[in-house]
């Protein structure tokens, strides 16, 4: 059962929380690394690298190959190559998680304001949402390159909520990583952790925390946190 979420702002991470994007990110990373004649990074490794933005993903891919990090090379060659491939194939394999769209419908009907806070670049986040035809659900979308400071800085969440016309005192963060958890802590928000994504929890005590293993359990977790505020 979903409570009345009028005046509540629900802030969702994108990759690994709302959308399974790992297959397309996997292809783009490996295409980028081919410029250095490096072999593919296995997708099971990439799933644990996602969450801090594409440049960070490239750095992690280089480290997986035990290569030195050259920021100029990333900016001049690997990053543009990644972007070019990813933009042209952005929703080739990506998909919304099972029951996510149905849940978004129910939350919107319950009065919630929905928004996206992601470390993904703004233009790529918007292209994913449009490509999967779910952009209309979200009052605001704030990518890492457009925020003053990106997650795990809580100001990224605060900016996203403000853009949606919401208040920190009635907001909940939903994400799949320690980065998301730390952002929620920093902003003073309750947090729903989705275990099916690309990261893990810090293991530190967190009273305002619910964990779910499937999107069908989202409404129950959100309701528990909202009732506890």
Beta carbons within 10 angstroms of residue 139's beta carbon: 17
- Do the Cβ atoms of 189 and 221 come closer than 8 Å? no
Catalytic-residue membership of 52: no
| 148 class by beta-carbon count within 10 Å (0-12 exposed, 13-18 middle, 19+ buried) | exposed
Contacts of 93 (CB under 8 A, 6+ apart): 23, 24, 27
- Specify the residue for token string 């902003």: 187
CA distance 14 to 128: 9
> Of 13, 15, 24, 180, which one is the catalytic site residue?
13
Q: Which residues are catalytic?
A: 13
């Amino acid at each position: 059962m979903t409570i009345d979420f009028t005046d509540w702002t629900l802030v969702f991470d994108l990759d690994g929380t709302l959308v399974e994007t790992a297959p397309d990110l996997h292809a783009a990373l490996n295409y980028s690394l081919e410029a250095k004649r490096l072999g593919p990074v296995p997708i099971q490794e990439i799933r644990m690298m996602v969450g801090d933005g594409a440049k960070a993903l490239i750095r992690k891919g280089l480290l997986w190959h035990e290569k030195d990090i050259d920021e100029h090379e990333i900016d001049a060659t690997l990053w543009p190559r990644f972007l070019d491939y990813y933009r042209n194939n952005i929703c080739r394999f990506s998909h919304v998680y099972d029951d996510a769209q149905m849940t978004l419908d129910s939350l919107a009907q319950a009065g919630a304001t929905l928004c996206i806070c992601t470390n993904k670049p703004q233009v790529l986040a918007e292209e994913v949402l449009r490509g999967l035809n779910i952009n209309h659900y979200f009052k605001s979308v704030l990518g890492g390159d457009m925020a003053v400071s990106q997650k795990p800085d809580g100001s990224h969440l605060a900016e996203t909520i403000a853009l949606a016309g919401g208040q920190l005192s009635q907001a909940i963060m939903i994400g799949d990583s320690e980065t998301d958890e730390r952002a929620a802590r920093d902003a003073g928000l309750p947090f729903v952790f989705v275990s099916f994504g690309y990261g893990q929890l810090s293991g530190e005590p967190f009273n305002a925390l619910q964990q779910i293993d499937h999107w069908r359990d989202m409404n129950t977790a959100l309701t528990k946190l909202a009732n506890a505020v």
